[in-house]
Amino acid sequence: MKKSQYEKEIIISKTCQKGSKGNDVKKIQEWLNIHAIQAGGPNSATSIDSDFGPATELAVKNFQLANQQDQTGIVDDEGFRRLCMPMIDAYKTTVFGSGFRDLVIKVANNHYERKPMELQMNGTQNLGPWVRSYCQGNEGNDWLWCMGFVQTIFDQAASGMGKDFTTLMPLTYSCDVVAMYGKQQANLISYNQVRNDPSQVKPGDIFLVQKTINDWIHTGIIVNVSGDCFETLEGNTNTDGSSNGIGVFKRTRNFLRSKLDVFSIEGF
């Protein structure tokens, strides 16, 4: 895979315990918060300040209790592996499919089932291990990660077939770059063409929300076309379909009411 940042997100350099400081502690605190936020998670939310104090120690013990581990309050390699197991499963699970389109959808579903989400702190959005894995180490307000999610899925699916997804589209985090490249390569189906003949669109293609003729603000993977709607899997969105949301969601989008251009992956 070209996008290998996830490998850095699933390891720490040393065992951490009360008194430890630094980036390893920050990574532990991030995952503790992710588990706490998600439904049914342990009482493990704590400040993300890179300082392993009493609150972080208790949060670790609560996570360990919820996962039938000894409550040591210490995080070693195996303990951190348990914390970041959702990401390990998303990237390391072998997925089988009948062709690229099928693989794209199955890989995307595998990520979705691990509940990827961003963290937000002190007015800053688009933070945390999932964002960094999709955006090759980058994070912060400017890093809208919907295209990072799409291209990570393409990268993983293509790599499983021994292919390079950058022969399909350039490596980028920009919807505009992909849409313009699609126009140049005659791979972009305009929203008017989609409305006139939705049979052109197939599962595995991606939609691009057109704001103006040369500006696209959000993207996601089409998993099904049903009537006037696309069923999608998309990152950096929410239940309202925001282009700067909080996680990976399954959505339905009415292509008759929205300007949804489509980048076709036919022939890859």
What are the pLDDT digits (tens) for 71-123?
A: 999 999 999 999 999 999 999 999 999 999 999 999 999 999 999 999 999 99
Among candidate residues 88, 115, 132, the one where a domain is terminated = 88
Q: Is residue 1 part of a domain?
A: no
Among candidate residues 53, 88, 123, the one where a domain is terminated = 88
Question: Taking all residues of the chain, what is their mean pLDDT, rounded to a whole number?
Answer: 97
Rounded Cα distance between 175 and 230, Å, is: 18
Burial of residue 195 (CB within 10 Å: 0-12, 13-18, 19+) is middle
Q: Do 111 and 24 fall into the same domain?
A: no
Among candidate residues 88, 112, 147, the one where a domain is terminated = 88
CATH code of residue 51: 1.10.101.10
State which residues form the domain around 100. 93-263
- The pLDDT tens digits for 130-161 are 999 999 999 999 999 999 999 999 999 999 99
Per-residue pLDDT, 256: 97
Per-residue pLDDT, 41: 87
pTM over 0.95: yes
SS3 state at 203 = coil
Per-residue pLDDT, 117: 98
Q: How many CA atoms lie within 13 A of 106 on its CB side?
A: 14
Burial of residue 215 (CB within 10 Å: 0-12, 13-18, 19+) is exposed
Q: Is residue 268 part of a domain?
A: no
Q: Is residue 219 part of a domain?
A: yes
Number of domains in the chain: 2
Mean pLDDT of 176-182: 98
The alpha-helical segments, DSSP class H, found in the chain are 6-9, 23-37, 54-66, 77-83, 85-92, 100-113, 129-134, 146-160, 175-184, 191-196
Closest CA to 33 of 60, 6, 65: 60
